Each structure stands twice: as C-alpha cells, then as structure tokens.
Amino acid sequence: MEIRPILSALLRNKTGAILVALQVALSLAILANALHIVSERRHAAARPSGVADEQSVFSVSVRNLSSGGPEQQLATQKREAEVMRAVPGVVAVANVNQIPLSQSGWNNSVAVDRKQVDETAPSSFYFSPDSLVKVWGLKLVEGRDFLPSEYMDIDANTNVTPRHVIVTKALAEKMWPGVPATGKNMYFGTGEDAIEVRVVGVVERLQTQSAQVTARGEYSSIAPMRMYGGYPGALYTIRAEPGQRERVIRDVEAALRKASPTPVILESTTLDKHRADRYRADLALSWMLVTVSVLLLLITASGIVGMASLWVTQRRKQIGVRRALGARRADILRYFVTENFMITSAGVFGGVLLGVALNQLLVSKLEMARLPLGYLAGGSLVFWMLGVIAVYGPAWRAASTSPALATRSA
C-alpha cells in the first residue's frame, strides 16, 4: 500500500482534494444533525396521548345562542349530555374543559406544600363532571377513579373549589418520587390562597393539551368538577363504537340540534385531527430534512465522481506510465480508491468537528437537543461507503488505461 507517496502527491495538489473533503465535511455535519432532528420529531409525534383507541374519540363544542342564567346553563349541559348518550353508537360522553393535543386549554402550578415559594411543576388542568377515565380509557395504575359523590358542579361565580384530584404517573413521580401518591395532598398554586386537593388515583398517562416534547408534556391533573355560569357553551368529549365515528358525529350533531329549542352552533373535531394539527409542523420539517439529506448525499457523490473523473483525465499519461512500469489494473484501481479514502477520511474528520459545532449552535440558539455520537459515527460510515462507490467508476476507467499511452507523444 503506497500511502506515503499518495499522500505526498495529494499535498502537492491540494485544491481538488480540499474541495471534495470540504463537501464531505459539510454534508456529514448537516446530515447528522438533520437526521437526528427527524428522529426526535418522529418520536415526539408517535407518543401516545394516553387516550385509548384515539380514532374512536371526538369532541363537540356547543354554543347556545340564548343560554339563560347559570342554573339554566347547568340544566342545558346535563340535558345535552343525556341526548348524546342516547344516540346509538355512543359508548360514553363527558363534559370536559379541554382535549389533549388540542393546543388550547388550562394550566395550573402545582405544589407539594402550600408553604413552597416556587411551584413543584406546571400541570395541565382537566376537569369533568363525568369519568374521563372511562371515556378516554385511561389506565389507572394506582388508587381509583372518582366516586359519584366526589363530583361537583361549581358555579363560576362562587368560590367553591374541588377537593379531589387524579394525577398522571409522571406528575406523581415529580411530586413524590418513589412513593405512592394516593392519599397525598396536592396544592394548586402556593401560599395561603392555594387550593388543597387530595390525590385519589394515578393514571399511567394523559398528555397535556400542548403535548410539549419535554417532561412537562406528561404532567396532567384531573379534577371531578364542572364549571358553569361563565362561558355560555360547553365542550364534550365522546367515544364512539370502533369504526362508527363518522356516522356517530353526524347523528350526535343532528340530535343536539333537534333537542335544542334555540339555535346552537356546533363544531366537531376528531382527536385524530387534533393530533394531526399538533404535529403537522414537525412532520413537515421532518420531510424537508429528509429531502435535504438525500440531496446532500447525491450532490456530494456527484462532487466525488466529478473530481475523480477530472483527475483520471488529467493524469492519463501518468497512469499509462505506471502501467508501463508494471502496475496491474488492480494496482491502479487501488491507487485511486486509496487516494479517495484519504480525502474522504479528511472530510469525515472535518465533518465530525463541524457537526459537533453545528449542534452546539443549534442547542444554544434554537434550544434543540444534543447530538448523540451515534449519528456522526453512522454518518461517517455512510460517507466512506459513498466515497468508495462514487470513485469506483472513474477508477475503473483509469485502470483500463493502456500502458501504450506511455510511449505516445504528449
């Protein structure tokens, strides 16, 4: 293996080699980071919300045009729920304040002790006078669901507060690491005004309405209450029989309209749509990054092929001389592959450094995640292989050079 002469010749003729190495370095740096981001976003979008069989769940927002006073609003809500339950194909209905992944809703600070200055965690705040555990198929891992006696209907104009709460496992771990949460007291807010509630159960998972990609996305609490008398309308979440969602939506809307003496404005949204909306931008970014990655590989490959072809053409005479001096075809092939390997390696080395630097920039300026070394390692392998594949064509052509070229005049 004639490494030293190849290296020495390369160093005397740096420009082309530097150009190729630079392309490899840039591509590797961008590729590694891009694929990492794609993986992160894909993983985020694949997270379960905690709701079982999401395709069967949808929500309806009902706005009544003449709502009357708080008591009338309460009666209307109860009636609407009953009307919906009576629709064939409806498995369960719950009046609720927000839907997971819907990107609109309530958050509360929660604390373990009212004397705390800072919150322990920010939590998404769900509340319903019906069993969300039942409608959404949430999995209880500790304690129990609310008892019928624990549900409260609270007039928004009064000071009544809930007394019980169900939290997610992630939130329970954050608040009371390593110990069961059931029976513990939790506080919404801190200080004297903080609302004290007792944990009656823990569910495995319920994402927040924003589904943040950090741990925060799994911190949710559920309170057994309904708030009425404020906003003249209500939001309901409904589970339909599997496969019947579309029909059930139509039937539920028709039933609500029929049952209301005054006009109602209805807006139905499936949980699938909320999910699609939440992750639309992430998936679009993923596709863009994948496209860019493919283009990166193609362009770098073309650069390698181009430069190698140029060198083969420029060194035709020299190759002929080598052949005349006894080089076999395989020797010429090996020369070019070795030369290319050295250039690619220089590029890979630069690419690793550049990739880390780029990631550092992304982490500090755009709050992205750190790049695991595996991406750079894998990427390096890809580019080494790409180099060998790309140079093979021109190298093969070079190897076919006739040794008689040496005796031809310039």
Partner 1 sequence: MFSYYFKLGLRSLRRNPALTALMVLTLAIGVAASVSTLTILHMMSGDPIPHKSDRLFVPIFDVAPADNYNPGEKLRENQVSYLDVMNLLKSGQGVRRTGLYGIAAPIEPPRKDLPAFSAQGVAPTRDFFAMFDVPFLRGQAWSVQDDERGADVVVLSRDIAEKLFGEANPVGQRINVMGFPFTIVGVTDKWTPQPRYYKLVGGEQFGKGEEFFIPLASAIRHETTHNGGMNCSERSDPGFQGTLRSNCTWLQFWFETASSGERAQLQSYIDNYASEQRKLGRMKRAAPNKLFNVTEWMEEREVVGKDTKLSAWLAFGFLLLCLVNTIGLLLAKFSVRAAEVGIRRALGASRREIFRQFLIESAVVGLAGGVLGLVLAFGALALIAMQSSEVAVVAHMDLTMLAFTFAMSVFAAVLAGLLPTWRACQVTPAIQLKSQ
Partner 2 sequence: MLRMTNLSKVYRTHMIETHALRGFEIQVNKGEFVTVTGPSGSGKTSFLNIAGLLEEFTSGEYVLDGVNVKGMNDDARSRLRNEKLGFIFQGFNLIPDLSLFDNVDVPLRYRGFNAAERKERIEDALAKVGLASRMKHFPAELSGGQQQRVAIARALAGSPKLLLADEPTGNLDTQMARGVMELLEEINAAGTTILMVTHDPELAVRTTRNVHIIDGQVSDLVRKGPTLAAVGSNAAGATVA
331 binds, among partner 1, partner 2, none (CB under 5 to 8 A by kind): partner 2
403 binds, among partner 1, partner 2, none (CB under 5 to 8 A by kind): partner 2
Residues contacting partner 1: total by CB under 8 A: 64
CB burial class (10 A; 0-12, 13-18, 19+) of residue 282? middle
Stretch that binds partner 1, among 47-55, 286-294, 324-332, 380-388 (CB under 8 A): 286-294
Q: Mark 175-214 with x for binding to partner 2 (rule: CB under 8 A) and - for no binding.
A: ----------------------------------------
Tokens in use for 51? Answer: 């709701």
Q: Mark 386-405 with x for binding to partner 2 (rule: CB under 8 A) and - for no binding.
A: ----------------xxx-
**According to CB under 8 A, which one of 284, 369, 377, 404 is a site residue for partner 1?**
284
Please report whether residue 273 would count as binding partner 1 according to CB under 8 A: no
Please report whether residue 393 would count as binding partner 1 according to CB under 8 A: no
Q: Mark 268-307 with x for binding to partner 2 (rule: CB under 8 A) and - for no binding.
A: ----------------------------------------
Please report whether residue 197 would count as binding partner 1 according to CB under 8 A: no
Smallest separation, CB 164 to partner 1 (Å): 19
Please report whether residue 378 would count as binding partner 1 according to CB under 8 A: no
Smallest separation, CB 408 to partner 2 (Å): 8
Please report whether residue 281 would count as binding partner 1 according to CB under 8 A: yes
Phi and psi at 216, nearest 5°, equal -55, -25
Q: Mark 304-323 with x for binding to partner 2 (rule: CB under 8 A) and - for no binding.
A: -------------xx--xxx
**Residue 167 · residue 186 · CB < 8 Å:** yes
Tokens in use for 182? Answer: 């059931």
For 52, 281, 297, 300, 304, the CA distances from 34, given in Å and listed in that order, are: 32, 15, 13, 16, 22
End-to-end CA distance of the chain: 29
Please report whether residue 195 would count as binding partner 1 according to CB under 8 A: yes
329 binds, among partner 1, partner 2, none (CB under 5 to 8 A by kind): partner 2
**Residue 232 · residue 80 · CB < 8 Å:** no
Beta bridge partners of 338: none
Beta bridge partners of 201: 143, 166
**Residue 131 · residue 210 · CB < 8 Å:** no
**According to CB under 8 A, which one of 86, 179, 290, 295 is a site residue for partner 1?**
295
Site of tokens 């009357």: 68
Residue placing its CB nearer to partner 1 in the complex, 1 or 118: 118
Stretch that binds partner 2, among 3-11, 190-198, 364-372, 390-398 (CB under 8 A): 3-11
Stretch that binds partner 1, among 47-55, 126-134, 310-318, 325-333 (CB under 8 A): 310-318
**According to CB under 8 A, which one of 79, 231, 328, 404 is a site residue for partner 1?**
231
**According to CB under 8 A, which one of 49, 124, 190, 380 is a site residue for partner 1?**
190
Smallest separation, CB 277 to partner 1 (Å): 8
Site of tokens 């304690």: 143
Question: How far does Cα 160 stand from its chain's mean position?
Answer: 39
Smallest separation, CB 343 to partner 2 (Å): 15
Smallest separation, CB 347 to partner 2 (Å): 20
CA–CA separation, 207 and 54 (whole Å): 13
Please report whether residue 294 would count as binding partner 1 according to CB under 8 A: no
Q: What is the CA radius of gyration of the chain?
A: 33
Residue placing its CB nearer to partner 2 in the complex, 117 or 410: 410
Residues binding partner 1 (CB under 8 A): 15-16, 19-20, 22-23, 26-27, 29-30, 34, 37, 63, 65-67, 116-119, 155-159, 189-191, 193-195, 229-231, 263, 265, 267, 280-281, 284-285, 288-289, 292, 295-296, 299-300, 302-303, 306-307, 309-310, 313-314, 358, 361-362, 365-368, 410
Residues binding partner 2 (CB under 8 A): 2, 5, 8-9, 12-13, 317-318, 321-331, 402-404, 406-407, 409-410
